[in-house]
Amino acid sequence: MEESSYRQAYGDLKRHQRLLAGTSETERNRMLQAVALKLETSQGEIRASNEQDIESAHADRVAEPLIRRLVLDEHKLAAVCAGVRQVARLPDPIGAVRERRL
């Protein structure tokens, strides 16, 4: 990714952060559930892209231990989906005071 692409992605992230801040806990949890579902229904596409990334890494002579960490198999993808759903079940941290000092 080129620097201009990173800058664009960062700008998009900041805009979306403000939008998310104005949503309710229920809406945010629904969005997380939708993300998990989209990941599950897009597994073939995600894994095909990952295969291309792995092939590129091999062509670029990336170290094997790094390549092994890049591999996104069905078990890792399932763990990602489960993790997103787990986050949706956590208590909402927005507005919570964790520590107060005088």
pLDDT in tens, 8-51: 888 888 888 888 878 899 999 999 999 999 999 999 999 999 99
User: Rounded to two decimals, what is the model's pTM?
Assistant: 0.75
Residues 84-98 have a mean pLDDT of 88
Task: Please state, in angstroms and rounded to a whole number, the distance separating the CA atoms of residues 78 and 20.
Answer: 25
What local confidence, expressed as pLDDT, does residue 100 receive? 82
pLDDT at 1: 62
Contact present, 57 and 72 (Cβ < 8 Å) = no
Query: Exposed/middle/buried for 54, CB within 10 Å: 0-12, 13-18, 19+?
Result: middle
